[in-house]
Amino acid sequence: MADALVQVRDVHKVYRRGAESIDVLKGLDLDVAEGEFLALMGPSGSGKTTLLNLLGGLDTPTRGHVLVAGEDLGRASRRQLARWRARHVGFVFQFYNLLPVLTAARNVELPLLLTGLSRAERAKHVATALELVGLTDRADHYPRELSGGQEQRVGIARAVVNDPTLLLCDEPTGDLDRDTAEEILDLLIGLNERYGKTIIMVTHDPLAAERARRVLHLDKGALVEAATA
């Protein structure tokens, strides 16, 4: 896929535990087009989150190449990766990872503190992100004052506030009831279809995976295509 936003080539990831070597990813290849919504499934320990971490520049491959938006992440320094993540990647987590001492608006603002934006510019970006997820009226609320679905919406607003190239979601509906999960999935689909966001979502939930355009399964460190919407 010549115009792929994400290109993974012959990637191996080996973790060492004492004298033991654990091969998590074994010669993995993957292309993700710009504007795609991809779901990754597989049993626990199959390497889904490891792959997500590699794509987000949180980890580097033992061997092989991970290219995102033209950047070979395996060759970048930690400082370069930190700057790259701040510009190109938004993360959405299962347990929201909001700071309880900060309001919704302040939580959303956090990624912007790594940029050179002024306070007024940051406030404008935060307001836009909260409006995008339908939480303008909750800007001054703390996480304890929000429902689980609202907390996840704040997490999504935080992930998109810097207009990232790639949105990486690790079990974004795993801690939500079905109705709330569907609302979150609708929001992700809207980001993909209306705003062209490229989304890679790890999930154990087949109903969630069905909402993606393409589904891949990780099996023993290799990817197998399961379905195309």
In a domain, 154, yes or no: yes
- What's the confidence (pLDDT) of residue 17? 81
Structural domains counted in the chain: 1
Contact indicator for 51, 79 with CB cutoff of 8 Å: no
Residues in the chain: 229
CATH number, domain containing residue 111: 3.40.50.300
Q: What's the pTM?
A: 0.91
Q: Which residues of 92-113 are buried (b: 16+ CB within 10 A; e: fewer)?
A: bbbebebeeeebbbbbbbebbe
Asked if the structure places residue 126 within a domain, the reply is: yes
Give the pLDDT of residue 61.
92
Domain annotation covers residue 68: no
* Residue 25 within any structural domain of the chain: no
User: What was the pLDDT predicted at 18?
Assistant: 80
Q: Is residue 206 one of the residues assigned to a domain? A: yes
What b-and-e string marks burial along 68-91, b requiring 16 or more CB atoms within 10 Å of the CB?
bbebebbeeeeeebeebbbebbbb
Asked whether residue 71 is assigned to any structural domain, the reply reads no
Range of the domain at 83: 35-61+76-228
Give pLDDT tens digits for 35-76. Answer: 999 999 988 878 888 999 999 999 999 999 999 988 899 888
Indicate if the pLDDT at residue 227 is higher than 70: no
Asked whether residue 116 is assigned to any structural domain, the reply reads yes
pLDDT at 161: 95
Q: How confident is the model at residue 159 (pLDDT cuts 50, 70, 90)?
A: very high
Residue 157 lies in a domain: yes
